[in-house]
Structure 1
Amino acid sequence: MPTRLHAATKPQVLGLILICLATALSLRSWAVVAFLVPVVLIQLATAPLSAHMVGRQAYRNGTLDERSLFTDELAESKETPPAAGG
């Protein structure tokens, strides 16, 4: 389900945080910490967003079984195309 994709990225990011923390603790260098902090922040920002986009694209392509959806929040936007030239 598309809603589960967002939740599936949380353990991925947590694992990356733990690996970065272990790396920073083992190398004990501020240069390493300065390098790893942006890596973690970028992953926190992009991993859930990319999972959301993958789920939305699966919905738009029709590769998702719409009968299995509990609530179809995108049904209205699917029926009416966006206005052109906005």
Structure 2
Amino acid sequence: MSWEQIRDVACAVLMLAGAAFCLLGALGLVRLPDLPARLQAATKPQTLGLLLILLGTAFRVSPESAVTLLLVVLFQVVTAPVISQIVGRSAYRSGTLDRSRLIVDDLTAQVERDERDAADRTTTTDPDRT
């Protein structure tokens, strides 16, 4: 078996595995019942799927383009969890998240503290303001 054939097989396996992960993530977005579960489906399998597809593509392109693809992978791995965290917190704070279904709720104390601070700011008047 030549290097070209091994590279083609590795590329095909990586791209098919990546496509399968992306498909599973998309099915999770459609089938899962609530926002936290959908966030998991949107970030974990989609990120791994994209990583595998780009890695399979990196086998087929020039080294300069492969470095660019690796930078895309790095950017995706760094930003996907951050975006998921922001969406989850926004849903929690806006009340669209069913808090009764949460097993651990570490954000309640922070939200209550923020609400107290906001109320204190609105009731406290600045003597310099007219």
Normalising by structure 1, what TM-score?
A: 0.81
Structure 2 residue 39 is matched with structure 1 residue 2: no
Structure 2 residue 89 is matched with structure 1 residue 56: yes
Q: CA RMSD in A?
A: 2.0
Distance of aligned partners of 1:3 and 1:79 in 2 relative to their CA distance in 1, 3 Å threshold: farther
Aligned residues: 82
Q: Does structure 2 retain, via aligned residues, the 8 Å contact 1:13–1:44? A: yes
Structure 2 residue 29 is matched with structure 1 residue 22: no
Note the residue ranges of structure 2 that are not aligned, 5 or more in a row. Answer: 1-34, 122-130
| Aligned counterparts of 2:83 and 2:51: Cα–Cα separation in 1 | 18
Counterpart for residue 69 of structure 1 = 102
SS of 1:80 mapped into structure 2:
helix
2:77 counterpart (28, 32, 44): 44
Question: Which has the bigger relative contact order, CA under 8 A and spacing at least 6?
Answer: 1
Q: Does structure 2 retain, via aligned residues, the 8 Å contact 1:13–1:43? A: yes
SS of 1:73 mapped into structure 2:
coil
| Structure 1 position 34, deviation (Å) | 1.5
- Percent identity (aligned): 49
Name the stretch that deviates more: 46-55 or 8-17.
8-17
| Structure 1 position 32, deviation (Å) | 1.1
| Aligned counterparts of 1:50 and 1:70: Cα–Cα separation in 2 | 22
Q: Does structure 2 retain, via aligned residues, the 8 Å contact 1:2–1:56? A: no
Structure 1 outlier segments of 4+, above 4 Å: none
Structure with higher Rg: it is 2
Normalising by structure 2, what TM-score?
A: 0.56
Name the stretch that deviates more: 63-72 or 51-60.
63-72
